[in-house]
A and B are shown apart, each in its own frame.
Chain A
């Protein structure tokens, strides 16, 4: 048994030697590889995540001088194990999008003790700020505020809003609902209905159908993601209610899927707010230049697209 163990150990050592040799070769041809460990959620989680993973793959690769190890999981404990493994492997940088916000303090401390710099992306965690270099995340409440500010700028005589919410309690739902709730409370906009479709397109259609059946008047659909906006529009089409640029009802969605931006481009929708999955370039810059932001938490700049101004190039560039 002991012999077998020793033999295995030798084998592992030999293997790591070979790999190390390979890395050195890469270093000789490039300007020195940077070892990076990436812990993320799996791309199958959502369209957003798929775009996010792709963005990181495009930036952190051998061609850009990185030696990358990645690990995907929706489970916090598996992510923690992977992060510890990356620390043991001796990476230079650790990039983490945590599955859950808690439980990371010990792991990040051990990273710090080993001289590994940590960057957080997309999701923050409950740890002291000195444990990581910087974090780049989306500002969900701001996404809602931007959308509502745009809606106000349309200067409609009155606002009768159907508000379709995402899964209750999710970051995106809380952020995007907040701004709209303020308007409802202030009385500047009328709440025709506010209901959750838990991100489900078909459910969103049923909610809008029920409002149409009740005969109530409305002129704005504020859906918290693209899919639900599409479901809502399907209900409008079936009821013969015009929508979009020259229509009766203003349609608003979020996330900037490519097909959604095409709807905006074609004037079927009025507004699509971005929730940017593109964080890799910023982190790449921090690593390569050694610069750090003045505040630890940086919000990814996010924009919106208006049916009146959107261009075909923007659809290509920003669609996910």
Chain B
């Protein structure tokens, strides 16, 4: 009987050790800061309003039973940002810089999508055709940036500045002025809810996309190629990796991300407004990459960090809305929190932390030592 109890205890402590080990590992990894930031946000909201994360089931105006609540809003609202943050992470890793034109190219993607949809009746076929056409066009635009960056070695931010400025006017030209809209139940399904599915479609699309891109990056050597090119282009080349081709393929992936985000945003409100669609999203995407603990100087990356970063940004916005922060102050609050996250995650502060840890540890051991000496002296 006591033996048995001991065994169980051992098992329990083993499990506990594993859990604490995992937690320790997490806190030492680059995901520490985003995870802590997210936890603090969650805790803050729970204290402020315990019902903040409650989820309820409602019947919407189309007669479907759907889930609703702040948690769903955050997951749903961050969809475009998550997809774009993934693309931005890969671009950052391979090119050691950021593409700041993704908002503008998303406007082009959305415009092409709407253009195709408005040509005839909206059916599943035309939607697929629309997305595919938008995808081709957007990839071409992203490759324009890609060629400037990979072939001509222009700094990514400078190269993408061209489309950053010209992208929305191009979208305007595609739209032929004004803000064309598309009315169809199918579009509502894509931007809102599919009948009998209580989860918002954008969330489902994001999950599928994350799974697909992870499998793609893991199954192929893509991830390795991208990181090698980002870490040391020359070494990668000497090892038989073509840096130009790798960078270009990253921009093709970005093109797919941008298309998905653009079309998704159009479906949400059945409308394309070239001026406002995904405005300033490039900055949020870069921020998501940074909050995720990824270096903006390229090289190694962690997609999970950027994805977490994107959800943190949306959670922050939703929190500020729920707190009814005044219109003029909302951006300032956002900035303060983000500065805090980025500063805490910066190498200098991290080094200080580990220094502090070292000092405390050495002091503890010193105390122990002196105690031992004292005890021995007695």
Question: For residue B265, which residues in chain A have a CB less than 8 angstroms away from its CB?
Answer: 202
**B62 contacts A259, CB within 8 Å?**
no
Option from A205, A258, A320 in Cβ contact (under 8 Å) with B269? A205
A239 to B68, CA, bound (A): 7
Cα A252 to Cα B177 in complex, Å, equals 24
Interchain nearest-CB distance for A173 vs B (Å): 9
Q: How far is the CA of A48 from the CA of B60 in the complex (A)?
A: 33
A257 vs B279: C-alpha distance in the bound complex, in angstroms? 21
Q: Is the CB of A257 within 8 A of B179?
A: yes
| Residues of chain B with a CB closer than 8 A to A205's CB | 268-269
Known contacts A202-B268, A206-B318, A210-B70; is A237 also within 8 Å of B62 by CB?
yes
Using Cβ atoms and an 8 Å threshold, which residues of chain A touch B330? Answer: 195-196
Name B48-80 residues within 8 Å CB distance of A.
Answer: 49, 51, 58-62, 66, 68-70, 73, 77
Q: Are A242 and B61 in touch, CB under 8 angstroms?
A: yes
Interface size on A, residues (CB 8 A): 44
Complex CA distance for A199 and B179, rounded to whole angstroms: 13
Stretch among B136-144, B229-237, B243-251, B319-327 lining the A interface: B319-327
Residues in A whose Cβ lies below 8 Å from that of B274? 44
Chain B, interface size category, equals 35 or more
The answer to whether B275 touches A240 (Cβ under 8 A) is no
0/1 interface trace, chain B 258-290, chain A, CB 8 Å (1 if under): 000000010011110111111100000000000
B209 at the interface (CB under 8 A from A): no
Check B47 for interface membership: any CB of A closer than 8 A.
no
B322 to chain A, nearest CB (A): 5
Chain B residues with Cβ under 8 A from A259's Cβ? Answer: 179, 181, 271
Q: Is the CB of B279 within 8 A of A237?
A: no
Q: Contact check, B326 vs A227: say whether CB atoms are below 8 A apart.
A: no
| Interface hub of B70, B169, B271, B277 (most chain A Cβ within 10 A) | B271
Min CB–CB distance A87 → chain B (angstroms): 28
Q: Is B193 an interface residue (CB 8 A)?
A: yes
- Residue B300 CB within 8 A of the other chain: no
**A207 CB within 8 Å of chain B:** yes
- Minimum C-beta distance from B190 to chain A (A): 13
Interface string of B199-221 (1 = CB under 8 A from A): 01000000000000000000000
Q: A47-B179, A200-B279 are in contact. Are A213 and B73 (CB under 8 A)?
A: yes
Whether B68 and A202, one on each chain, are in contact in the complex, defined by CB atoms closer than 8 angstroms, is no
